[in-house]
Structure 1
Amino acid sequence: MAQRTLQALTALVAVAGIALAAAQARRTSGLPAATEPKIMQRITIMAGDRPMTATLYDNPTARAFAATLPFAVTMHDHRDQEKAGPLPRPLSIGGPAQRDFTAGEIGYWSPTADIAVYYRSGDGLPSPGIIMIGKVDGDLMPMKAKGNLRVRFARAE
């Protein structure tokens, strides 16, 4: 009887651990697992001489970003996962922050007012996390170029 009780308790602890891990994953991402960001508008990105398109999400930070368009920035490689560069001015931080990212996402790093375009997926970003403002539609090859890259962000025509 004691053996069965111990097995039942062990199984219960394992199930609780899985549920706790899933809840923690949702909390660290900043978004519930099933939530998809709402789309606000499309933009163009000229990475060097290569055109790209992206879709901005509908959150306060993305709207503040859209208000800065058009602008150009020299972006640098950061941690072999993204191109990052300073924005013309700091943005509202009203969008949801998260600690993970997927290739193609565009994020705002509020401590330094930098914009980032991720070309690799990852996680473990330090606090306060990154506010995702959009996603590149299509090929990320231009962002993977080594070294600095001049990038122009503008409203889609």
Structure 2
Amino acid sequence: MTKTSDHFFIIRAFAALLILIACALVPIAHADVSSEEVPVSKIQKVYKIQIELDGVVISATLDDNPTVRDFIARLPLTLKLKDYASTEKIGFLPDKLTTQGAPSGSTPAVGDISYYAPWANLAIYYKDFAYSAELVKLGRVSSGIERLNFSGEKHATISLIHSN
């Protein structure tokens, strides 16, 4: 090899080494950026509840809004759940919940847990339904929706199991 070839080879090897070092550092720099603390005010609170029906459990996650916080403050709570319109199981709450800041209504889907303000009842949907005014979505069933396949009435005990 000539002196020029040696010089060219050294420069290419050095460039390759710099590229390797840069590639190794990129994930570290990215990790530092993504691990920045998120202000507490930006973290959405999540509530996990369980609904116990005759020894079986339905798990759900509730959103964070004034209606949910009012509902959570009343737990644990036992309600009689019964079928309504072959679409949902409903249970009447002892008192009305706040609807401060709630949207004017919602369109429930399978698994939605909602509060129907005019009747002060909790509704757990096992079928999709049309838009309903004054229906406030509280959250969603995460497991056990099939447990709502019953006829008649059942006592349901709703408990808070976790909040962050």
Q: TM-score, normalised by structure 1?
A: 0.70
In structure 2, give the amino acid aligned to 1:68. R
Q: Following superposition, which runs of at least 4 residues in structure 1 exceed 3 angstroms of deviation?
A: none
Call closer, same or farther: CA 1:129–1:48 in 2, change over 3 Å.
Answer: same
* Matching residue within 90, 96, 108 for 1:84: 90
Aligned-residue CA RMSD in angstroms? 1.5
Matched ranges for 1:1-157 at <5 A: 40-94=46-100, 95-125=102-132, 128-156=133-161
Residue 146 of structure 1 deviates from its aligned partner by: 1.4
SS at match of 1:142: helix
Residue 129 of structure 1 deviates from its aligned partner by: 3.0
Q: What is the identity percentage for the equivalent residue pairs of Structure 1 and Structure 2?
A: 28
User: In structure 2, what is the equivalent of residue 13 of structure 1?
Assistant: none
Is 1:108–1:114's contact at 8 Å kept on the other side of the alignment?
yes
Is 2:81–2:90's contact at 8 Å kept on the other side of the alignment?
yes
* 1:72-112: CA deviation from partner (whole Å, max 9, x where unpaired): 01011000010001112110012224241011111001111
Structure 1 stretches lacking a partner, 5+ long: 1-37
CA–CA distance in structure 1, aligned partners of residues 122 and 156 of structure 2:
11
Q: TM-score, normalised by structure 2?
A: 0.67
Residue 39 of structure 1 deviates from its aligned partner by: 5.2
CA–CA distance in structure 2, aligned partners of residues 136 and 155 of structure 1:
14
